Chains A and B, each alone.
Chain A
């Protein structure tokens, strides 16, 4: 049985699954339930400037019968009194000393406020601090949240303030609402932040009510840009995570990965691309804390299968395989193959290839079932047919190299090799 114990800058947790700073971590009752369920740690919902939240707060994107493919929120940081939060954090640490307790912070935009807040939080016995430089709504208008994270120099300044007083590890949480997360990540690390976490939510409008014409969530006939999260944002998060893992400065610090993690598979992917721990929110908002069981069991079973004894055995393992396009091997060529025994004759591969790819599938009419076969000489190996096929392993991609040697685009051009002729 693989060991899921995690050490993140000395912050220990029995598994790498933390709850992200969000509604599930904003009070003792939730956090205790999460710990009872088995969560490895929590990032307590952001403390700091005093705010008041509105009603309603969330909206979602459903897809093809599945609810909450993406979740959007306009909720601000904790609107509970600071003293109550601090007292509850202390009690949670006392009751579950083996779990990670990180506290998310967003102070008013002056050194004094940050220093006061950090001292109070450290008094609770919390194990780490997460700086919320990412909240995309409500706080930005006051010069906080993403307003800090979007400007590397402001981020650097605030991290420097923080590091003047912080005695426990500091994680800087990055906003994705930038063209690249690397500049702010670098600035934060250079200013002393010992770790990074990403991504925060992505600014969004999830939809417009087609009867009232008001975008959602509807607050008395108006809406506002919110922060998007959930399974829909995972690919974007993975890309940003990879850029942090590949940058020579940011690669030096551990990363807590965030962004649409719902299953152990998602978690493993984040870890393969450099995350030491992962943070979960939307999946819990949809299903509750009980999902931790399969997160742990699934990850552990997969690690056993792959021969990984501990999580450090595979963190970052896939990072080197993400390269620049011009370094890809142009001699690598695959073609689709349809297994006639598995084909259910739905025609989805055919119409996708015919209308959207390279007209590489032939249709032999039948009643009621047509037969579909690949025209290998036309197939460019794009994967589209395999992606749309509803039957597992019905379409496979078979390697048919154009040449034995590795040949990238630069070399291809240098040799003046021929482009497509049709």
Chain B
């Protein structure tokens, strides 16, 4: 057993990381599903979309060959509608609410139709929005992820000059660096970013990190307002013996490497344990398998009923051949001094519900040892607590506390997305960006009137 890179041929990598939800091959194929849509009034799908995309309207527009209208309808509510069509857990959002579910019929494939409606617009950079004449107002946005970009786009449309400060060398945030490659490609992330920027009035300064080479105080003086959208990113540690060994990696870093280094360059073990069962855990487990790991076991301390990922996500992992070890909590990473040899787990049982309503796992005292040579930790992400505290922002365990619409405790500083909510979906971040942009415009107007 060993952790190795270059396990597969180029063809195998390409096949393993191919698009998991391929787009409609033809217009006819899209129309079959578009025409199934009932065009609900006050539609449950729209109400279940955090950005409130008018789903029946854009599907109707597809069916009338008004492709420009369909793209506009989507982007008007969600400028990352293209990316969201690939990464949204639609089974618990729009598609989960589709009224066809109540007829025991297949829901309308809203995400796939949304991809159909947006793909060409993004690739060909359709000028669907007009930037208002520059007002001379300037806003700084920290973080070029979904929330920051969404906020920047609304502001730019309104004539504000926006500068985005991004710590990475590329924009897109979680989309670019933190999601399974078979869901969304780097090329698409770059295209989507370019499309958003094509409105004009937005510039991005890369490798600018708050607390390192960028200070909030400076931004506050240079700009009329600042929007903080730097997300979360610190991996939660397990705090168990052996965790510091080589061969124990965190899922965020693992996925980041896959997205930035190229598949052959990312080493993976023969037998891998993934700890946790959120979306990131699934992305790590499936991609470990797709990189060539022989066995992948997902270790989760609760049961199927409490799992944070969706069933659709779990199904991807199962179809990839990942094993699941339910009711097991890591107790120690075992090693021989040079490499990981196993993961010792406590077997759990469920006790009474905790504050979130999920039943709390309790140690049974029994243990089990998994023979593994690699452990990927996906036990959740933590906010940048130090950064938030240093900035003097009111926070709750590192999550910035805001009033409605992203208003923080500091005048002219706004915040939204994962750094406020602790880590939700891309589509939630987009909406937070929109809300904050509205608040910022309001603030700028009143500050100058």
Q: Please, which residues of chain A bring their CB within 8 A of the CB of B97?
A: 368-369
Q: Which B residues touch A370, using CB under 8 A?
A: 42
> Given the complex of chains A and B, what is the CA–CA distance between A369 and B47 in angstroms?
9
Interface segment out of the listed B32-40, B314-322, B440-448:
B32-40
B31–A348 touching, CB < 8 Å: no
Contacts of A365 in B (CB 8 A): 42
- State whether A347 and B40 are in contact (beta carbons under 8 Å apart), knowing that A367-B47, A368-B47, A391-B103 are contacts in the complex: yes
B99: interface (CB < 8 Å): yes
Q: Compute how far the CA of A185 lies from the CA of B19 in the bound complex, rounded to whole angstroms.
A: 65
Whether A346 lies near B41 (C-beta < 8 A) is yes
**A344 near B99 (CB under 8 angstroms)?**
yes
Chain B residue contacts of A350, Cβ below 8 A = 41-42
Scoring A65, A363, A368 by chain B CB atoms within 10 A of each residue's CB, the highest score goes to A368
Bound-complex Cα distance A370 to B35 (A): 23
**Which residue of the partner chain, among B34, B63, B99, contacts A345 with CB atoms under 8 Å?**
B99
Using a Cβ cutoff of 8 Å, how many contacts connect chains A and B?
44
B-side binding surface: helix, strand, loop or mixed? helix
Interface of chain A residues 194 through 252 with chain B (CB within 8 A): none
Contacts of B102 in A (CB 8 A): 344-345
Residues of the A chain whose Cβ atoms lie less than 8 Å from the Cβ of B23:
none
Indicate if A81 sits at the interface (CB-CB under 8 A).
Answer: no
The answer to whether B43 and A347 have CB atoms under 8 Å apart is yes
A344, A348, A363: the one contacting B39 at CB < 8 Å is A348
B48 at the interface (CB under 8 A from A): yes
Query: Which residues in A have their C-beta under 8 angstroms from that of B63?
Result: 64-65
Most chain-A Cβ atoms within 10 A of its Cβ — which of B35, B39, B41, B48?
B41
- Chain B residue numbers with a CB within 8 Å of A363 are 42
Count of chain A residues near B, Cβ 8 A: 17
- Chain A, interface SS category: loop
- Interface residue total, chain B, C-beta cutoff 8 A: 20
Q: How far apart are B53's CB and chain A's nearest CB, in angstroms?
A: 13
A21 to chain B, nearest CB (A): 34
Q: Given A64-B35, A65-B31, is A347 in contact with B103 using a C-beta cutoff of 8 Å?
A: no
Smallest Cβ distance from A414 to chain B, in angstroms? 43
With A368-B47, A368-B48, A391-B103 in contact, is A348–B41 under 8 Å at CB?
yes
Residues of A with C-beta under 8 A to B32:
65
Cβ of A328 within 8 Å of any chain B Cβ, yes or no, is no
A residues 349-383 in Cβ contact with B at 8 Å:
350-351, 363, 365, 367-370
A143: CB under 8 A from chain B? Answer: no
Given A64-B35, A367-B47, A368-B97, is A348 in contact with B40 using a C-beta cutoff of 8 Å?
Answer: yes
User: Which A residues touch B38, using CB under 8 A?
Assistant: 346, 348, 390
Cα of A212 to Cα of B103 in the assembled complex, Å: 43
Contacts of A65 in B (CB 8 A): 31-32, 34-35, 63
Is B44 in the interface zone, CB < 8 Å from A? yes
Cα–Cα distance between A345 and B100 once the two chains are bound (Å): 10
Mask, A258-289, CB within 8 Å of B = 1, is 00000000000000000000000000000000
In chain B between 103 and 142, which residues have their CB closer than 8 angstroms to a CB of chain A? 103
CA distance A344 to B97 in the complex (A): 10
Q: Is the CB of B42 within 8 A of A347?
A: yes
What is the chain B residue whose CB lies nearest that of A394? B103
- Residue interface bits A380-411, CB-to-B below 8 A is 1, else 0: 00000000001100000000000000000000
Partner of A344, one of B31, B45, B48, B103: B103
Question: With a CB–CB cut-off of 8 A, which chain B residues contact A369?
Answer: 44, 97
Nearest residue in B to A392 (C-beta to C-beta)? B103
User: Is the CB–CB distance between A351 and B31 below 8 Å?
Assistant: no
Bound-state Cα–Cα, A345 to B44, Å: 8
Cα-based distance from A390 to B34 in the complex (angstroms): 16
A368 and B44 within 8 A (CB): yes
How distant is B423 from chain A, measured CB to nearest CB, in Å? Answer: 23
| Cβ contacts under 8 Å, A345 to chain B | 40, 44, 99, 102
Chain A residues whose CB sits within 8 angstroms of the CB of B43 once the complex forms: 346-347
20 A-B pairs with CB atoms under 8 Å apart are A65-B32, A65-B34, A65-B63, A344-B100, A345-B40, A345-B102, A346-B41, A346-B43, A346-B99, A347-B40, A347-B41, A348-B40, A348-B41, A350-B41, A368-B45, A368-B48, A369-B97, A370-B42, A390-B38, A391-B103
Give the top 5 A-B pairs by smallest Cβ distance, nearest first. Answer: A347-B41, A65-B35, A368-B44, A351-B41, A344-B99
Q: Which residues of B contact A (CB under 8 A)?
A: 31-32, 34-35, 38-45, 47-48, 63, 97, 99-100, 102-103
A64-B63, A65-B31, A65-B32 given. 6 additional CB < 8 A pairs? Answer: A345-B99, A346-B41, A346-B43, A346-B99, A368-B97, A390-B38
